[in-house]
Structure 1
Amino acid sequence: MTAFTPVPPLFSAVPDGLFGPLASPHRARYWQLLCRLFGEFFGPDAPVPPSHGFPRREITAAIERFLLTEDPWEEDGIAPDAPLAVRAAAIHERFRGAGWLRQERVGAREMVSMTPAVAQLLAALMDFAERGPAYIGAKVRSIELQLKQVVDGHAGADTLDEAADQSRQLLSHVSAIGVQVRDLMPELTRAESTAQFARTLFERYVRELFVGDYAELHREDHPLARRTSILSMVREIEHSERRADMVQWYCDRATQGDRERAEQRLQRSLRRLYELDRIDEYLQRLDEDIRQANRRALAYLDYRLRAPDRLDALLERACRGAQAAPEDALRLPVAPGALMDEERLRAPQSRPRPIPRTANSLEAPTPEQLARLNLLRQMKRARLVLPEDLGRYVDRQWKDADTLDSQALEIADIADFRAYQTLLTLALRSRRNGGLRRDDPLNRMLRGFRIETVEGQRTANDYLQAPRFVLRRIRKTA
């Protein structure tokens, strides 16, 4: 978290003992019962609840129906053979004391409801438990459509916040997949049979952990290839008159007129959207984790298929058979005679003597040859552009600006000219949708900046004429 982002107060929004039932020995049964009550009474699929809640008897009756289908289990000292109504009342009191249910007296009746904060938390927990593979294309498409509405003036800062939250969730999900893949491999190796290993591999590793559209990420028509247009819209929001509209929206609806806090809220959303440019780093690490996991899984599967099944059991049975066999049955299957007689040994091989070698005569180079060799090395080095050479050239041209036009680039010597040519090559290769490919060798040249071409315009200097391009500095996020 940044210095100006406070820690969100969790226990001021939910009761302190809310997680007590979910931390008890019977937490699995409590979770099933909470999900059933939520779906039947308080969830979005249930009928619209009365404003004052449900009668207490309806809730306890639902708990009794749940207990009828479950194995007997003791609750708060109540024996499993206690009457069903007593056990249901004890579970209801446990939920009410923890804060999952709220009980109020309306006239002569006791009514039960669930607070909105607790219902929202339970819905989030159920969504987390039912999570499956993410579809990056759908999330990127949603972010792009929301930003387009903001740029066109059809939506406010609430839509911008939603797009920023989706961008942060997308990066967090992709980052966490690699950890899940690495944690899954030790569990797979504990499979008792090859069939169980293969079934677990394909059911959990491929179906549950992979990105749903992972095989389509590298296609040019994938929505992820349009992240350049998303970042362009973010820059437009930041540097156009829409920025003032966003700040005013925060002042009116989120910060009670505090303009400084409104600026901070806007910067936080923009910073989260700019982080979408780092998704290539997460995807490269995910590709490497998946390749390594595939190699380990294939090697382990190959070993399990080739190795005899239950090898330890076979060895143990052979040892028992050797101990119980008669003496004549343990005779070695070899021909009669001495086993280690020298006549049975193979004659040693006689290697031919090596040909005597004479050293080649060395002749020291002349000063002119050394001078020509050094000059050739300097010529090759001057024409070779490494990432650090390109970084020094660009850093010398920035002059405290965030953008740098190709018309302002200075060329003083051969090294500068070669650096300019490299930037031009990067600009031409970045014309494709989504910019440079992640496997492009020149992608490692882009350190701290992004390059874009200016359509329909050209740049002319003393050495060549080429399409015009612009360098944009990448801001480091907190």
Structure 2
Amino acid sequence: MTENGRSTLFSLVPAGLFGPLASPNREHYWQLLGRLFDEFFGPDAPMPPSHGFPRREITAAIERYLLTDDPWEDEEGVTPGASLNLRANAIYERFRAAGWLRQDRIGAREMATMVPLVRQFLSTLIDFAEHGPTYVAAKVRSIESQLQFVVDGKAGGDALDEAADQARRLLASLSSMSLTVRDLMPELSRAETTAQFARQWFERYVGEFFIGDYADLHRGDHPLARRSSILSMAQQIESTGLRARLLAWYREHGGGSDEARAEQRLARGLRRVRELERIDEYLGRLDDDIRQANRRALAFLDYRLRAPDKLDVLLRRACRGVRHAPPDTLRLPVAPAALMDESRLRPPRQKPQPIPRSANAVQPPTPEQLARLALLRRMKRARLVTPEDMARYLGRHLDAAESVESEGLEIESIADLRAYQTLLTLALRSHRIGGLRRDDPLNRLLRGVRVELLDAGQSPDDRCHDNGWLRAPRFRVRRVAAARHA
């Protein structure tokens, strides 16, 4: 274990495991490992015997692969000119020495198998190589389902850990998606023909690197709109008796009944789930990168379609024709006389004289009009809520508290009343189907806080609060975790 408690990779896998994959024949070795995994050791293969497969079965499978993929490059231990059986046995020994295969002797037979740790590592590598578009809806549904099992008491810390890992993988996938889009454009721009660029654009950009349900992300019925429910369940786990039950589960299954380790695992799971609050930042950056990529692709296609085809070939052909043409054919098709002469120049453009205009008579405003105008400006300013006004209003109530309910919000002026109305509007909009949209203009007024509607399941008469100015539903304003750490 390292200082941060994370196991190193090379303490888990054999030391020479990457040897075949770092050799000149790495592509052949990778294809061969994939075929052996699919045929003998993978989840799609038949149930392997507990004592392994006879060595001859493994080498026969390698021979079949060599018949379809040959020749290999010269390498120590693998001679392309040798017989098929010798080459298959040499490759088998290379895999066994590297740790991909393990050989045991049972009686007079040599049995080969793949240890579970190496099998799991190879499965992870294959999944990484075959990774396709990300489907955000399925991941969000799975996270919500796992947390719902925990809240309902049907699952323990294992479901919470699974939801936390899925949330972390989802954010990591969205974070790397922007870099993938930016790196893809220079590669596509090197296409030799317009048809090749268009084919790669739609096959690779849309088919491989795009989010599978990107077109549905902004719909109100998309599961991503229910992330507020996921965050509410995480808050419920943190602040109710579910916390004690999960701590007991972690102590029981963590080994040693270590209270500190159980607290650490529970805090880590909840922290990773609450990181879904930042998903709007990742999606906003991804939207910007995709819009920029679309503009570059359209500009490139427009240039390719407008520019003459094979322009460099036409220029070389014209230069070669000029060098070998007779002198008479190179004469310019112009009339005799000087090409540049004062009489051939265009006369200067005369700027017309401006039309004299008489100024309108200016009537100065009366003191009463000035006073009315100043009063109107003060009225509009008192009713206008800016991010600075909202920050000052909430700062008076959240100075030392993590959250404050609507009953604790004071109203001492018109500005306070307008700030209270804005918070109430945000609470009502966040409770509607689809939640608060990312492009909502009121969302830009709040930084680092979240507004939640309280008693949403009660009747309107029971959940209303009268503060002397408004009779409205109750709500709570709380700080966001990211803002507290900052």
Give, in whole Å, the separation in 1 of the partners of 2:433 and 2:174. Answer: 22
1:159 positional shift: 1.0
Task: Quote the residue 1:44 is aligned against.
Answer: 43
- Greater shift in the superposed pair: 267-276 or 458-467: 458-467
Give, in whole Å, the separation in 2 of the partners of 1:93 and 1:433.
61
Write the letter of the residue equivalent to 1:21: P
Aligned 8 A contact 1:426 1:442 in 2: yes
**Residue of structure 1 equivalent to 2:62:** 63
Q: Secondary structure at the match of 1:11?
A: helix
Comparing 56-65 and 265-274, the one that deviates more: 56-65
Give, as a single letter, the amino acid of the residue that structure 2 aligns with 1:8: S
Q: Secondary structure at the match of 1:105?
A: strand
Question: 1:355, CA displacement in angstroms?
Answer: 5.1
Spell out, residue by residue over 1:141-174, the C-alpha distance to the aligned partner (whole angstroms, 9 max, x if none). 1111111111111111101111111111111111
Amino acid across the alignment from 2:214? Y
Instruction: Measure, in 1, the Cα distance between the counterparts of 2:250 and 2:108.
Output: 46
**Contact 1:231–1:274 at 8 Å: present in 2 too?**
yes
CA contact (8 A) 1:174 1:282 kept: yes
Aligned-residue offset at 1:240: 1.5
Q: Distance in 2 between matches of 1:391 and 1:5?
A: 38
Which ranges in structure 1 are unaligned for 5 or more consecutive residues? none
Distance 1:149 1:5, change over 3 A: farther
C-alpha contact (below 8 Å) 2:77/2:90 kept by paired residues: no
- What residue identity is the alignment partner of 1:435? G
Q: Which residue number corresponds to residue 435 of structure 1?
A: 435
TM-score, scaled to structure 2 = 0.92
How many Å separate the matches in 2 of 1:55 and 1:47?
Answer: 15
CA offsets per residue over residues 313-344 of structure 1, 9 Å max, x none? 11111111111111111111223333223333
Partner Cα separation in structure 2 for residue 112 and residue 400 of structure 1: 66
Cα RMSD of the aligned pairs, angstroms, is 2.4
1:6 aligns with: 5
TM alignment of 1:52-451, pairs within 5 A: 52-73=51-72, 74-354=74-354, 379-398=379-398, 400-451=400-451
Aligned length: 476
Q: Which of residues 477, 482, 485 in structure 2 aligns to 1:476?
A: 482
CA distance in 2 between partners of 1:318 and 1:47 (Å): 68
Partner Cα separation in structure 1 for residue 369 and residue 400 of structure 2: 46
The amino acid across from 1:162 in the alignment is E
- Provide the secondary structure at the position in 2 that maps to 1:430: helix
Is this contact kept in 1: 2:237–2:243, CA < 8 A? yes
TM-score, normalised by the number of residues in structure 1: 0.93
Q: Structure 1 residues 411, 255: CA separation in 2 closer, same or farther (over 3 Å shift)?
A: farther
Unmatched segments (≥5 aa) in structure 2 = none
Matched with 2:464 is 458
> Hey, what's the Cα distance between the residues in 1 that align with 2:77 and 2:266?
54
SS of residue in 1 equivalent to 2:417: helix
Shift of 1:23: 1.4
The CA distance in 2 between the partners of 1:321 and 1:382, in whole Å, is 78
| Superimposed CA distance per residue, residues 364-399 of structure 1 (whole angstroms, 9 cap, x where no aligned partner) | 999999888776655544433221321221122125
Match of 1:467? Answer: 473
What are the superposed Cα offsets for residues 42-79 of structure 1, whole Å, 9 maximum, x if unpaired? 11111111111111121111111111111222231543
Q: Which moved more, 1:236-245 or 1:360-369?
A: 360-369
Separation of aligned partners in 2, 1:5 and 1:143: 27
Instruction: Percent identity, please.
Output: 66
Q: After TM superposition, give the deviation of residue 430 of structure 1 in Å.
A: 1.7
Instruction: Please report how far the alpha carbon of residue 190 of structure 1 lies from its aligned counterpart in structure 2 after TM superposition.
Output: 0.3
Change (3 A) 1:285 1:16: same
Deviation for aligned residue 1:256: 2.3
How far, CA to CA, are the matches of 1:431 and 1:211 in structure 2? 27
> What secondary structure, in the 3-state scheme, does the structure 2 residue paired with 1:209 have?
coil
Supply the distance in 2 between the matched residues of 1:427 and 1:339 (Cα, whole angstroms): 78
Q: Deviations over 1:152-202 (max 9, x none)?
A: 111111011111111111111111111100000001110000000000000
Compared CA separation, residues 186 and 359, structure 1 to 2 (3 A): same
Contact 2:55-2:112 at 8 Å conserved across structures: yes
Q: Distance in 2 between matches of 1:415 and 1:407?
A: 17
Partner secondary structure for residue 471 of structure 1: strand
Secondary structure, in 3 states, of the residue corresponding to 1:225?
A: helix
In structure 2, distance between residues paired with 1:171 and 1:316: 53
Structure 2 SS opposite 1:119: helix
CA–CA distance in 1 between the matches of 2:4 and 2:264? Answer: 9
Q: Distance in 1 between matches of 2:425 and 2:414?
A: 17
State whether residues 147 and 159 of structure 1, in contact with CA within 8 Å, keep that contact through their aligned partners in structure 2.
Answer: yes
Tell me which residue corresponds to 2:23.
24
SS of the residue corresponding to residue 293 of structure 2 reads helix
